[in-house]
Structure 1
């Protein structure tokens, strides 16, 4: 049994080494493990459990008088427990934390912004719109054909050809 535990320990250690050295080249190699039915079976979870199974098996076999069956059960229990902890405390939170600051220009419809470059009755100006954790400057035209001065609050009514069509807001309309 000791050879089996050493095999698990060495396999996990080699996988960690290969991942550190060739991680970028191997990126996506285990994507088949991310299927909906196996989303908990990530390589990090799987190989950390295998490494721990081998390491605890070696330690318990060499330094205790426990029988082989009990050593195997304790090693499996520790490996499964660590896999569950790693998945729920590291892998899942990291997956859920993936954000993007990207937005579609069509997401700006209905958003309130501020005119930074005056918008003439029939021409373009510029508005500053807050979206997500940042701001964006966009080319804008007057929706109803009236000029809008700089500093005025506006609302985006529609988007055509990458241009926001905005209408001015009074301070009591907010």
Structure 2
């Protein structure tokens, strides 16, 4: 039985090293083939983490306790279950909730500072670039106070109506 524990421990350790070194490449090849939809508990990371813990606990319990093989298997299984739960709640759950969205609502643009990229005439439309999060967004703009705004002018968004940002010169 100790040989089986050693194989499980070694297999899990090798998988860990391989996944760290070429995990992105391997993940893109498999493209989620090893994941069961709706069953987050059965992700490869959780199962292989539990397998490694089962092997490691089995080796230690066999070597350093006088327990029978049955008790060693039961206790190693308990350790594997606890480690699997810890891996799930420490890594899988938080990662699933950490997806970042670059989407935004046009209403969120009010009060944002930007720069004119295409001149905005007194009456009519131009274009402004507004920094939003880690990126820049380009929007059709009109002059709020009906004054022309040259390219490169810093502006502030006063209001948003019908997909057009109404901007004013930002006095710094």
Quote the residue 1:147 is aligned against. Answer: 146
Quote the residue 1:14 is aligned against. Answer: 14
Distance 1:47 1:127, change over 3 A: closer
Quote the residue 2:165 is aligned against. Answer: 166
What secondary structure is seen at the aligned counterpart in 1 of 2:88?
helix
> Does the Cα contact within 8 Å between 1:110 and 1:155 map onto a contact in 2?
no
Q: Is 1:126 matched up with 2:128?
A: yes
Quote the residue 1:172 is aligned against. Answer: none
Quote the residue 1:103 is aligned against. Answer: 103
Quote the residue 2:60 is aligned against. Answer: 59
Deviations 1:71-107 (A, max 9, x none): 111000000001001110122112211214x236xx3
The number of residue pairs the alignment matches comes to 158
What secondary structure is seen at the aligned counterpart in 1 of 2:41?
coil
Instruction: Give distance in 1, aligned partners of 2:98 and 2:48.
Output: 23
Q: Kindly report the root-mean-square deviation, in angstroms, between the aligned alpha carbons of the 2 structures.
A: 3.0
> Does the Cα contact within 8 Å between 2:114 and 2:156 map onto a contact in 1?
yes
Quote the residue 2:70 is aligned against. Answer: 69
Structure 2 unaligned residues grouped into runs of 5+: 150-154
What secondary structure is seen at the aligned counterpart in 2 of 1:4?
helix
Q: How does 1:79-98 map to 2 (within 5 A)?
A: 79-98=80-99
Moved over 6 A (4+): none
Instruction: Give distance in 2, aligned partners of 1:9 and 1:84.
Output: 18
> Does the Cα contact within 8 Å between 2:35 and 2:44 map onto a contact in 1?
no
Normalised by the size of structure 1, how large is the TM-score? 0.73
Distance 1:123 1:13, change over 3 A: closer
What secondary structure is seen at the aligned counterpart in 2 of 1:138?
strand
Q: Which of 128, 139, 161 lines up with 1:157 in the alignment?
A: 161
